[in-house]
Amino acid sequence: MENRLILILQLSGLYTLTSCLPHNYNFVNTPMTWQKAQIYCRKNHIDLATIDTMDELAMLAKSVQHQYNETAWIGLEKRDISKWLWSFSDRDFYGEGERQFREWGIGNPNKFNCVAIKSDRKWYSTNCRKTLPSICFTGKTQVKYVRNEQRMKWKDARTSCREKHTDLASVRHHTDYVEVKRIANGDDVWIGLFRDMWEWSDQSDSSLRKWMSRNDTTNGPCAGLLSYSTGYYEARDCKESLPFICHSPSVKKLVRVRLSPQKSTEINLDDPAIKEDLLQQIKMKLRMKGMSEHVKLSWRMKPDRKVFHKEENVRKPVKTKCEL
């Protein structure tokens, strides 16, 4: 691996990557009802807090703990209409239209809210309390599906996948579908698709849900964050007066880096493993320069779907404050 990384750093090319900061959160220690908190956040910030990833959730809970150790409103509210969501909510993981990929069997979906693969390789919705094996996945750039043979309810399977891997399996396109079918091997297994009536105030499509195990989401139609925990949600009566958390827009910055060759070499820069290795090197260098550990880095592809492009008529680069 070391030799491969050295070769990458010696190659010529110009690529760009995007760093996306998490939401900027603002804790307001003035108790209000959920609706009044929503009005306040929309007037003074953007909206009540939306949470996209487990990292954001942990960061938010930790930051609020220093000021408050009870429940604070976030932007999740129960609606009359439900929609299908993938358990893994990171927006950078999905390309255009990939959240909507489906392979329903005949007569599905039905009234149930959790999804499994049938023995005929098609999807069906079934009772979430049913116990089945499950398929998890690990990684984001290089996705690897892993089968969990232990029979669990859907929520328990999701918890297990999040603790040991990344999440329950997301199936974004036909290639993912073929691989998940292969691992299912004709058995009924859970995947990460579920139907939910809870929606974020800002209408975002984040599917991150982390309810307390004792909380079946029927205690009220508005959600609060239990700040004294590691970031669990709790359903509450919307008329209760609680402190709350607002959010401001995330910040995106484009970083352009030039790599100059020291000697001729051949290597496939489109290899996902190569790109992931290089991304980790860049992340380490940026953190040495003070970048927060919560900043996410991802590749930005050009219209030709490529990240790396050879420069013609290369001039000597001008040093800047962002130089690696």
pLDDT digits (tens, 9 = 90+) for 26-50: 999 999 999 999 999 999 999 999 9
Residue 270: its pLDDT value, please? 74
User: Distance between CA atoms of 77 and 197, rounded to whole angstroms?
Assistant: 8
Closest of 102, 118, 117, 109 to residue 82, by C-alpha: 109
Q: Dihedral of CA 230/209/296/70: which sign?
A: negative
User: Distance between CA atoms of 59 and 75, rounded to whole angstroms?
Assistant: 17
In this prediction, the residues of the chain whose per-residue pLDDT falls under 70 are 1-22, 213-216, 228-230, 250-267, 286-296, 301-305, 311-324
Pairing outcome for strands 222-226 and 71-86: antiparallel
Q: Dihedral of CA 277/278/281/287: which sign?
A: negative
Closest of 93, 88, 231 to residue 167, by C-alpha: 88
Residue 140: its pLDDT value, please? 81
Residue 12: its pLDDT value, please? 35
User: Distance between CA atoms of 143 and 98, rounded to whole angstroms?
Assistant: 15
Pairing outcome for strands 123-126 and 132-138: unpaired
